[in-house]
Amino acid sequence: MTTVLVTGGAGYIGSHTCKVLKAAGYVPVTYDNLVTGWRDAVKFGPFEEGDLLDRARLDEVFAAYSPAAVMHFAALSQVGESMVNPGAYWRNNVVGSLTLIEAAAAAGCQNFVFSSTCATYGDQDGVVLDEDSVQMPINAYGASKRAIEDMLENFGASHGLRSVIFRYFNVAGADPEAEIGEFHQPETHLIPLMLDAITGKRDALTIYGSDYDTPDGTCIRDYVHVMDLVEAHVQGLKWLESGKESRVFNLGTGTGFSVREVVAQSSAVTNADVPVIEGNRRPGDATRLVSGSRRATEELGWTPDRSTLPHMIADAWRWHQNGHYDK
Q: Is there binding between residue 190 and ligand UDP (CB under 6 A)?
A: yes
Rule CB under 6 A: is residue 189 a binding residue for ligand UDP?
Answer: yes
DSSP track, 131-195: TTSPP--SSHHHHHHHHHHHHHHHHHHHH--EEEEEEE-EEE---TT-SS----SS---HHHHHH
| Of residues 27 and 289, the one with the C-beta less far from ligand UDP | 289
Asked if 191 and 275 count as a contact pair (C-beta separation under 8 A), the reply is no
Binding of residue 313 to ligand UDP (CB under 6 A): no
Q: Does 297 bind ligand UDP (CB under 6 A)?
A: no
* CA pair distance 317, 311, nearest whole angstrom: 10
Q: Is 229 in the site for ligand UDP (CB under 6 A)?
A: no
The residue from 55, 202, 260, 282 that contacts ligand UDP (CB under 6 A) is 282
Number of residues near ligand UDP (by CB under 6 A): 15
Residues 136-175 vs ligand UDP: string with x where CB under 6 A? ----------------------------------x-----
- Is there a contact between 120 and 131 (Cβ–Cβ < 8 Å)? no
Which range in 13-21, 35-43, 44-52, 201-209 contacts ligand UDP by CB under 6 A? 201-209
Residue 199 binds ligand UDP, judged by CB under 6 A: no
Q: Which residues pair with 251 in a beta bridge?
A: 168
First to last CA, the chain: 31
The distance between the two most distant Cα atoms of the chain, rounded to a whole number of Å, is: 55
Q: From CA 60, how far away is CA 68, in angstroms rounded?
A: 15
Of 12, 141, 168, 223, which is the active-site residue?
141
Torsion of CA 175, 311, 249, 87, to 10 degrees: -70
**E strand or H helix at 208, and its extent?**
strand 205-208
State yes or no: residue 249 binds ligand UDP (CB under 6 A). Answer: no
Please pick, from the candidates 73, 166, 208, 319, the single residue that binds ligand UDP as defined by CB under 6 A. 208
208 a catalytic residue? no
- Min dist CB 281 to ligand UDP, Å, is 8
Active-site residue numbers?
141
| Interaction site with ligand UDP (CB under 6 A) | 79, 170, 188-190, 193, 205-208, 219, 221, 259, 282, 285
